[in-house]
Amino acid sequence: MKVFRALILAVLLLVLPLAVRAAGLPDADLAKLVAGLAGDGFDDKIAAIDGLGASGDPRAVAILKALGDGKLAQTENNQVLIESSTGQFADAVTGAAVTPAADPDRIRVNNRLRGHIEGALSRLTLFSPDPQDRLKAATEALHRPSLDGVPALDQALAAERDNTVAAALKLARAAALVRSPDADKSLAAIKELTASSDPQVRALLGEVAGDRGADPKAVAAAKSALAGIDRRLALVELGVNLFQGLSLGSVLLLAAIGLAVTFGVMGVINMAHGEMIMLGAYTTFVVQEAFRAFLPASLFDFYLVVSVPAAFLVAGAVGVALERGIIRFLYGRPLETLLATWGISLILQQLVRSIFGAPNKEVANPSWMTGGFEILGGFTITWNRLVIIGFGFAVLGALVLVLRRTNLGLHMRAVTQNRKMAAVMGIPTDRVDALTFGLGSGIAGMAGVALSQIGNVSPNLGTIYIIDSFMVVVFGGVGSLVGTLAGAMGLGVVNKFLEPFAGAVLGKIFVLVAIIIFIQFRPRGLFALKGRSAEA
Amino acid sequence: ADDTIKIGVLHSLSGTMAISETTLKDTVLMMVDDLNKKGGLLGKKVEAVVVDPASNWPLFAEKARELISKDHVAVVFGCWTSVSRKSVLPVFEELNGLLFYPVQYEGEESSNNVFYTGAAPNQQAIPAVEYLMSKEGGEVKRWVLEGTDYVYPRTTNKILEAFLKSKGVPAEDIKVNYTPFGFSDWQTEVADIKKFASAGKKTAVVSTVNGDANVPFYKELANQGIKATDTPVVAFSVGEEELAGIDTKNLVGHLAAWNYFESVKNSTNDAFIKKWHAFIKNDKRVTNDPMEATYIGFKMWTQAVLQAGTTDVYAVRQAMYGQKVQAPSGFTAVMNTNHHLSKPVMIGEIQANGQFDVVWQTKAPIKADAWSPYLAEDKGKVADWTFPWACGNCTAPKYAAFE
Amino acid sequence: MTEALSTAQLYLDGITVSFDGFKALNALSLVIEPGELRTIIGPNGAGKTTMMDVITGKTRPDSGTALFEGRHDLTRLDEPAIANLGIGRKFQKPTVFENLTVEENLELALKDDRRIRHTLFRRLDDEQAGRLERVLGEIGLMHRRHDLAGLLSHGQKQWLEIGMLLVHDPRLILLDEPVAGMTDAETAATADLITRLAQYHTIVVVEHDMAFVRSLGAKVTVLHEGSVLAEGSIDAVQNHPRVIEVYLGR
Amino acid sequence: MLTVDAIDLSYGASRILRRVSLTARLGEVTCVLGRNGVGKTSLLRGIFGLQPIAAGRILWNDQPIDKLPPHKRAAAGLALVPQGREIFPRLTVLENLKTGLAAAKGETTIPDEIFELFPVLDKMLHRRGGDLSGGQQQQLAIARALVTRPKCLVLDEPTEGIQPSIIKDIGRVIRLLAERGDMAILLVEQYLDFARELADRFAVMERGEIVVSGNRGELDDEAVQRYLAV
Amino acid sequence: MRRVPLLGPTGWLVFLAAALVAVIVIPVLATVPAEGSALRLPAYLVPLFGKYLCYAILAMALDLIWGYAGILSLGHGAFFALGGYAMGMYLMRQIGTRGVYGNPILPDFMVFLNWQKLPIAWWGFDHFAYAALMALLVPGVLAAALGWFAFRSRVTGVYLSIITQAMTYALLLAFFRNDMGFGGNNGLTDFKEILGYEIQAPSTRLGLYIATAVALGLSFLICRFVVTSRFGRVLLALRDAESRVRFLGYSTTGAKLFVFTLSALLCGLAGALYVPQIGIINPSEFSPGNSIEVAIWVAVGGRGTLVGAILGALVVNFIKTWLTGAAPELWLFALGALFIAVTLAMPHGILGLATQLRRWRGATPAAAVGETAHD
Ligand SMILES: Nc1ncnc2c1ncn2[C@@H]1O[C@H](COP(=O)(O)OP(=O)(O)OP(=O)(O)O)[C@@H](O)[C@H]1O
Ligand SMILES: Nc1ncnc2c1ncn2[C@@H]1O[C@H](COP(=O)(O)OP(=O)(O)OP(=O)(O)O)[C@@H](O)[C@H]1O
Ligand SMILES: NC(N)=O
Ligand SMILES: [Mg+2]
Ligand SMILES: [Mg+2]
């Protein structure tokens, strides 16, 4: 039985590529392939998947997708069913609705199968009406170059109208032809690949360049192509390092910005700053859960948009409460604020631990912050990082506006510089203090929203960032927002440029030592106040 | 009082390790609760003495001393990180206490006062790599060993490197990288992995990244588009509990190797999960391997106490050898005379729902090696605490003369 | 000029100090002879305090020469070194150690060896103790000797700072507005004190109180926009049209 | 009219003011004199609520203000030029002046007269307050108080550190303000000539108490000798 | 106006009484009464007390620079840890062939990392005298170097705090690295003997405890000597108005460097005494949080008084020990609340409270302990 099935498949495999554009298979053939998916061994399944991929049958796409998503099931009598998102079942071949007697077993897949499913899907979608699908298929083909695939690519190329897709197809075709026994074709293919910076292509060319048995002309061409690619990649890598540095910098910036208010402007050594960030992250979690529980899935992506003001309000309110309840009794006694805020931080951590439990909470990236886009050379710019960079600058910009352009900002600064005199000038110091601390805390809360998108949401979240935050604010120069920005970005970029050479740990050590040395030259930080006013 | 038996629970409830360890504290409490409901032990009530060593290693030693000397506990369930175990080890040996250690670790140890119910490297790391080398696992040729810089990953990677080389993997196809505890900015590391993986050979990442660093690591993996079909990541410290803190939609297919997964179907496991949900009063809480190891350890200890008729450490220790427990993994775990377990090894793939699908498992339990056969310095070392060896670290039996 | 250079107690030449392009001192030159008492006046912001900052090492000039006793280049020394040469200063805004007692403030200012070894083991000798007593009396703070200096009133702090100069006994004394906030009677007493001190010390006084300046009876230098506008006797200066215009008013 | 009615004030255990009473009427300059440390500044601190009073009352236009926080007193029209300048060092001159707008109901601008009186401030509008010279800071402190459009202007040794020509100007302004008739001015001053020239009334303090008070003419040499000499 | 006495008469009385309890009463209670009798001090408390006393030295050392000279170091844990590592290295070498891999020269972790030779940094540590010297010298030299650069460049206030924090953070990361050769995350542990005495023997424990008590007493007297001298006055002045001190002719750089280094030496001493009693030294001792905690002890006890610092260290750590056992899930609430309560109700710490009470009863404040604490 098994042997027989395999035999059929083999025949199909040989014949089908020639018929790729055929509208589809007879139901019986399709049914046979589909039955293979429910086979016992992985080898059987793979043969069936490859068969489906080669079938060109539009129905195969849905079946394979369902298989990959774990939505394909089999009944006791080996009928293969597709489960819809609403939990209904339908026969995979006929599409007829089925109500299975017992719960059908999900057909399991593993990575090896997933690889084949992707390959098969890419073949099938090479002719999809959606250019996006076709582009994906072409890229997939580039990453799995095989001479067998060339005829299909040729066909697709002939029919292709979209320039981008056509270019991708050409590249994929060239990649497949590199190993062509025909020396001329191979050489032409290598030349064509010179323009690519794809790491897969690079690897392919590397193989040719290192292959002693290969045609010397091909080797030479491959070598020169490689040199070109490497030059381009070096540049790209520089840019990527810069991006990563800015990205790390923006994380530091966000972590530090609230502290730049509570510590930088108000002078409160706020050891509970990290916990404000944590509160923001937990607020994000709660908002997310609320969205999941009460709103349709289509709105889920907006949960983050709601989280930002929510986190600002929650952390800000806690900040105001702390200021009114504790901090305000401690102005002019920075040491005591250190002690009290440390106590606050312990309590907040344990409180969150008691309410939400000690383990991490899951906070999902909304789809618009998931994944990334590849730039040259296989490097990926991830959306969440990009959004966070933008967010960091936006928050800083808004804060600068508040502090520089509003009366509240003026009053905040006046109050911290001379509380008594500010009161005499008619500034309601109590309210300004509460608002300032609330603002700093609220900003920390917003940072928590951003940080929940790249790291842990746990009761310890704050302790991770507190040291770095102080480092950034002080390094930049206490009281200077520009300094905070420069400090954060500087440290981020330097760190990321060191990391490739020194590794993560040594890199960080170097950065710390650099800070120590740097402070010797600028004892009051990067953007220090100079002159008499600094001493006052 | 004389009508209670005290047992110590030495897991961090605050600090960085609380994330993982609180669950184990709850597991012990659940087991105690269960035991007391069934009438206790030797006719006495069992009382758990919980302390918080606060993720502070010296404090672990101090609290261990307090538990044994002041509270006179009969046994201690505790520790997660290897360093905490190393820190308390001298205390347990000095005061002749008994520690059950439930976490997978690097091996290279066998103390008369510790029973190790987590996996040794040969029960986790080696099988996982073997799986990836197999056809089913994708015939991986190139390896990234990514770990947190401390003893467990270092040891595991050292053993793995020796193993891989013994299988003919050339040095240039192995990349080892360490990051510190709590590392959070994985951009460069993940980009490097991508680069390493794009050399045309099938590549896998073996992750011994521990603790807090995992969430940002996986988020970065997902966002930079490292797919399990291209470059699978197999982890030894990421279980259901860790996954509960990560959005797994984009991680489907990445792997973990353990001796237990919550998704395993058998009646023991069903009961275990049910008991857990009832105890913790939350149906969403998952179970994981260290919890199962705690479960096994606790069961074995109660059985040994019953058998010995006392909680006396000497007697209980003797009774422990050969102790069998029907484990939630579906297999029978056995305590060996090297103070380590025989347990099955399972490889699971991450699913979108935060659970693992077992894609491979051993046919039978594997016996843990306290000393690795792949390391030169471990040549000839034997851990066997019964006559005539009576030793955890010897090349000749202590009582050879009696033979 | 070279002669002045070697014999002058204080020799400033071409001193320029600028802050973000604003020249607080502009090629200022000034020579103070040993034992001289000199008063300096000038509009607010003329650079008087800045000049003292330069002399005491607080501010490094952009250019120019500043020599003490012809030998010591003040632009190269730091504050403690300059103080140890024998230059003492009273600040415009009274600065005392608020968390030390009045007596301890004075003790720290005592003329003595200032190296660590010495300060660790040194006890007050009778001569020093006597001097402390005398000065406490002179500045009228005897009854507050054990009080923290931070609790003094504004004027009392001024006196304490003068007291610190008295026990320090430097060769060159710089006084920045010593009588600000004093009553007229106290002002007169201070003038008296300064005249007595001037017998053994070189003194530079900055003041706006013209009656006080007159009572000192010393040569007056008028600074304006960072350089010397006029110099001479009080009468000459008071009738100088530019001085009247920019400083005294009509 | 500002009325201080038998107030006591202490720092910790030490009583500084004993039953001090004083009035400052609209259109008049009331001058407080006294040696160093007798409690002049403490009295002003009490008036502005910077130090709590232990007994007595403070009234502004017959309304008690001693329970109000300082900023409410400012809103009621009181403005202080404190001893020791107390400008905001890291705010620019302009920003320092703008803080005065907080108490100036409805006003959003800094009156031009201020720059006429203190031209140097106009020149240094964007310099940080703390960078100014001592005298310039003192001018700024006075200007800042004027920005609030006070009904009751209180000055604590305002001439300290200011060059003679500007002292004269300040004197003229104070006179002018007083003569407008809608402002009460309370001046603490050591500089006797200046005080004598301006004061409509005076009060002399000695060890926390007011020992002599009266109209301008009544400050005789004997009192000066007794309470103001060393 | 003589020099302030080292201690007033009452001060000496208190000092001697405390010394008596620490060095005689406690050891007697730990050995003489029969095991199990109510008077007998349980054995597990001896190393615990020893730890508290080590922390007390550490807190006092921090107070010396923070409370008196106004230098807030957020990296003092580093000096402590370095002293501890020096001692730990000696103890490691004493293990000899008793290690897991039985190598007579190399500690286990080196064997494990395939090291062939003892790194130079480890040379000489088999001699106690050398290790003891290093326990002082390494923190001392590091402090002197960092201090020299920082104080010379006039790095003050939070900027100094941050570079000390950066220092300890960098050391934390460095010591975490297994490649550094100090045992990585695990650090050094499983010690066997010190100066030939078995490290776990009760008598050794007691001996170490007494040594710590004596060290604390001596350190206290040294610090007292410093703060009661005119130099102490210079420090206080420095704290309030550093530049003014310079204009008086005192080298503030020198003064700060001296106390900073002295303070680091005391930390090294404390660390060296800590390790054999605790049995482990690892990089987490370098973690910035630890150093911040030291500052907290000082603040709780009362900054600017040596006794306050000692008291703070003892009280906070005792409470911590007690609560982590008695209320493992709530202790952070309790400790946090304590810190807040202390700041709000006792602005000058526990000792300040005592002073407040005494002042309230009319006695002169500083008399009892003879301390001049103006804060
Ligand atoms: N850091 C600085 N930035 C900008 N300008 C400054 C700075 N420091 C001083 N100045 C300016 O330098 C000038 C000289 O100031 P200085 O204090 O020396 O004046 P002065 O003669 O002492 O005045 P006064 O009589 O008011 O005390 C002033 O105009 C002041 O504003
Ligand atoms: N914060 C304080 N705590 C304790 N005592 C103080 C405080 N401020 C001032 N004093 C004391 O109160 C008394 C009065 O001080 P105040 O400043 O009111 O004097 P004054 O009359 O303004 O003197 P001056 O003319 O010197 O400015 C002084 O003896 C002073 O030492
Ligand atoms: N043993 C571990 N995982 O540290
Ligand atoms: Mg001046
Ligand atoms: Mg006054």
Label residue A387 by pLDDT band (50, 70, 90). very high
pLDDT of residue A141: 80
Tell whether the model's pLDDT for residue B358 goes beyond 50: yes
Select from C17, C25, C44 the residue to mutate for testing ligand 1; criterion: most ligand atoms less than 8 Å from CB: C44
User: Whole-angstrom Cα distance, residue C83 to residue C174?
Assistant: 11
**Chains D and B lie in contact, requiring 3 or more CB pairs less than 8 Å apart:** no
Closest CA to A53 of A158, A141, A180: A141
pLDDT of residue A33: 84
Q: Which residues of chain E are within 8 Å of residue A342 when distances are taken between CB atoms? A: 292, 296, 336, 339
pLDDT tens digits, C172-202: 999 999 988 888 888 898 999 999 999 989 9
Tell whether the model's pLDDT for residue B145 goes beyond 90: yes
pLDDT of residue A20: 45
Considering only CA atoms, which residue is closest to atom 22 of ligand 1?
A: C49
CB C15 within 8 A of CB C61: yes
pLDDT of residue A6: 53
pLDDT tens digits, B258-306: 999 999 999 999 999 999 999 999 999 999 999 999 999 999 999 999 9
The CATH topology of domain D2-81+151-228 is Rossmann fold (3.40.50)
Tell whether the model's pLDDT for residue D191 goes beyond 90: no
Q: Which of B13, B137, B224 sits opposite A372 (nearest CB)?
A: B224
Among the bound ligands, the one closest to the CA of B79: 3
Residue C175 bridge partners (DSSP)? C90, C205
Label residue E369 by pLDDT band (50, 70, 90). very low
pLDDT of residue B170: 95
Q: Which residues of chain E are within 8 Å of residue C122 when distances are taken between CB atoms? A: 3, 229-230
Q: Which residues of chain A are within 8 Å of residue D83 when distances are taken between CB atoms? A: none
Mean pLDDT of chain A: 87
pLDDT tens digits, E209-258: 999 999 999 999 999 999 999 999 999 999 989 989 999 999 999 999 99
Residue B397 preceded by cis peptide, ω within 30: no
In the structure encoding, which two tokens stand for residue B377, read together? 């310095």
Question: A420 CB near a chain D CB, below 8 Å?
Answer: yes
Residue C165 alpha carbon to ligand 4 centre in Å: 18
Label residue A2 by pLDDT band (50, 70, 90). low
Q: Which residues of chain C are within 8 Å of residue D36 when distances are taken between CB atoms? A: 153-156, 158-159, 181-183, 186
Give the distance from residue C34's alpha carbon to the nearest chain D alpha carbon, in angstroms. Answer: 28
Q: Do E186 and B151 touch (CB under 8 A)?
A: yes
Q: What is the mean predicted confidence (pLDDT) over A96-101?
A: 82
Question: E149 CB near a chain A CB, below 8 Å?
Answer: yes
Q: Which of D11, D120, D157 sits opposite C44 (nearest CB)?
A: D120
Q: Which residues of chain A are within 8 Å of residue E305 when distances are taken between CB atoms? A: none
Closest CA to E143 of E9, E219, E244, E256: E256
Which residues 169-228 in chain D show a CB within 8 A of chain A? none
- How many beta-carbon contacts under 8 Å exist across C and E? 94
Q: Which residues of chain A are within 8 Å of residue B184 when distances are taken between CB atoms? A: 454-456, 464
User: Would you tell me the crossing angle of helices E306-326 and E45-63 to the nearest 10 degrees?
Assistant: 140
pLDDT tens digits, D105-139: 888 899 999 999 899 999 999 999 999 998 999 99
Residues enclosing ligand 2, CB less than 6 A? C 151-156, 181; D 11, 16, 34, 36-42, 83
- DSSP notation for D45-65: HHHHTSS--SEEEEEETTEE-
- How many beta-carbon contacts under 8 Å exist across A and E? 121
Q: Which of C22, C184, C247 sits opposite D163 (nearest CB)?
A: C247
Position in ligand 3 atom list of the atom nearest CA B105:
1
Distances (CA, A) of C88 to C74, C80, C93: 13, 10, 15
How buried is residue B274: exposed, middle or buried, by Cβ count under 10 Å (0-12/13-18/19+)? exposed
pLDDT tens digits, D212-223: 999 988 878 887
* Residue in the structure block whose two tokens are 């859960």: A289
Residue C211 alpha carbon to ligand 5 centre in Å: 22
Q: What is the mean predicted confidence (pLDDT) over B108-119?
A: 96
Residues with CB under 5 A from ligand 4 (ion): C 48-49, 92; D 133-134
CB E268 within 8 A of CB E275: no
User: Whole-angstrom Cα distance, residue D193 to residue C187?
Assistant: 13
Residues with CB under 5 A from ligand 5 (ion): C 154; D 40-41, 83
* Residue in the structure block whose two tokens are 């215009």: C245
pLDDT of residue D17: 95
Cα-based angle B160, B163, B168 (whole degrees, multiple of 5): 125
Label residue C155 by pLDDT band (50, 70, 90). confident
Residues enclosing ligand 1, CB less than 6 A? A 531-532; C 19-20, 22, 24, 42, 44-50, 92; D 127, 131-136, 161
Q: Which residues of chain A are within 8 Å of residue E170 when distances are taken between CB atoms? A: 508-509, 512-513, 516
Q: Do the strands D184-188 and D29-34 form a parallel or antiparallel pair, or are they unpaired?
A: parallel
Q: Both ends of chain C: CA-CA distance in Å?
A: 37
pLDDT tens digits, A3-24: 555 555 555 454 444 444 445 6
Position in ligand 2 atom list of the atom nearest CA C157:
26
Q: Which residues of chain A are within 8 Å of residue E337 when distances are taken between CB atoms? A: 343, 347
Tell whether the model's pLDDT for residue A365 goes beyond 60: yes
Max CA distance (Å), chain D: 49
Label residue B41 by pLDDT band (50, 70, 90). very high
Give the distance from residue A497's alpha carbon to the nearest chain E alpha carbon, in angstroms. Answer: 18
Q: Do D102 and A427 touch (CB under 8 A)?
A: yes
Interface residues on E facing C, Cβ-Cβ cutoff 8 A: 1-3, 225-226, 229-231, 233-234, 236-237, 239-241, 243-252, 254-255, 258, 374-375
pLDDT of residue E3: 58
* Residue in the structure block whose two tokens are 């300082």: D70
pLDDT of residue A383: 93
Q: Kindly provide the residue ranges of all beta strands, DSSP E only, lying in chain E, ordered along the sequence.
A: 188-189, 193-194, 197-198, 280-281
Mutation target for E interface from B29, B62, B165, B374: give the one with most E CBs within 10 A.
B62
Closest CA to A247 of A495, A498, A510: A495
pLDDT of residue B182: 84
User: Would you tell me the crossing angle of helices C102-109 and E230-240 to the nearest 10 degrees?
Assistant: 110
Residues enclosing ligand 3, CB less than 6 A? B 81-82, 103-105, 152, 210, 237
Question: A524 CB near a chain E CB, below 8 Å?
Answer: yes
Closest CA to A434 of A320, A272, A267, A266: A320
CB A526 within 8 A of CB A486: yes
pLDDT tens digits, C33-45: 999 999 999 999 9
User: Whole-angstrom Cα distance, residue E341 to residue A76?
Assistant: 69
Tell whether the model's pLDDT for residue A99 goes beyond 90: no
Give the distance from residue E239's alpha carbon to the nearest chain A alpha carbon, in angstroms. Answer: 13
User: Would you tell me the crossing angle of helices E128-152 and E157-176 to the nearest 10 degrees?
Assistant: 140
CB C30 within 8 A of CB C10: yes
Closest CA to B219 of A461, A451, A245: A451
Which strand (E) or helix (H) includes residue B275?
helix B267-280
CB A258 within 8 A of CB A437: no
